[in-house]
Structure 1
């Protein structure tokens, strides 16, 4: 099912606004320079159920919003979301029926979470190695930061947020046309 361009633009704008607003109001866990805000990825994950194009727009819009409102490293991490969002959305387009199979969906969710975390580890490592933060030493604290907090913590954070998004979108799909759920019900 195709949505009208005005609907897509409006929904994309609302999701971008939510992406920038959520970190201001939701609980946050901060461990060193790593931080995890509950539901911060939900708007982007919601976009993935609509289209790769919407996922791309929301990822870019969110990155720009964070460039204006947050530290530069946060904007770079948000920009890295472009990778998993587009890949994940393309996968959903090809296999929409996965949303009807909880075990398969959770495996897909884990793969997206791993791509998400690896992309953020690469961005953060590059940022620190290029001198973006003089507070972090390049010894065990760097390893701990990257792999334990950004890597493993990022996977867990992604898994939780995608499940929240799935629950929201599945509920909305009962009264609002969500393309992936519409395609899944037709197969």
Structure 2
């Protein structure tokens, strides 16, 4: 006889809902810019950040779901692999937030510092992925622009900005839902 605890059911439900949103966003979001190797899909990181507010396991699962969404949406393989690299920043960020979430989210300064720091980790992971394609270590990409423009500016700096905007959106949604989200996250 199996007994399912409420927290496990809640964790599974939250993971499933955020993963479904993460898969759907790249497939349906009308605001997206694709300048290979960079792509910017509005709110594509929001479910990942939201998952980070819950737990590292949920953050990793939602990140993987996001990569599936980019694959199903027909994005180039380099963009899909960049989405796969989100596991890195999601895990690091979620581990940092564990036990510190309310402290970070309630302070504008700490929130911005966290957002910028995790955006740097996010950008470094994506730059690493794109560099593998840029230097031809993996075939399938032919970039006419130089490394500085295509990889450092478009992907690196662009990712930092995009990540911080999406973190702000996730934080705004989290705060607008108020105490209920905090209570639910404590149960997960």
Post-superposition shift, 1:64?
3.1
Residue aligning to 1:136: 143
Match of 2:52 among 48, 52, 57: 48
Alignment map for 1:104-119 (pairs within 5 Å): 104-119=110-125
Distance 2:32 2:124 in 1: 21
Residue aligning to 1:4: 7
Tell me how many residue pairs correspond in the alignment. Answer: 178
CA distances 1:42-70 after superposition (whole Å, capped 9, x unpaired): 00000000001110111122223433443
CA distances 1:8-54 after superposition (whole Å, capped 9, x unpaired): 11221111111121122230123343211111100000000000111
Contiguous gaps of at least 5 residues in structure 1: 183-187
Other structure's SS at 2:98 match: helix
Post-superposition shift, 1:178?
4.2
What's the RMSD between the two structures over aligned residues? 2.1
Distance 1:118 1:3 in 2: 38
**Does residue 102 of the first structure (1) align with residue 108 of the second (2)?**
yes
Is the CA contact 1:169–1:178 (under 8 Å) kept in the aligned structure 2?
Answer: no
Other structure's SS at 1:26 match: coil
Alignment map for 1:13-92 (pairs within 5 Å): 13-23=16-26, 24-70=28-74, 71-92=76-97
Contiguous gaps of at least 5 residues in structure 2: none
Q: What's the TM-score, normalizing by structure 2?
A: 0.85
Residue aligning to 1:153: 158
Moved more, 68-77 or 8-17: 68-77
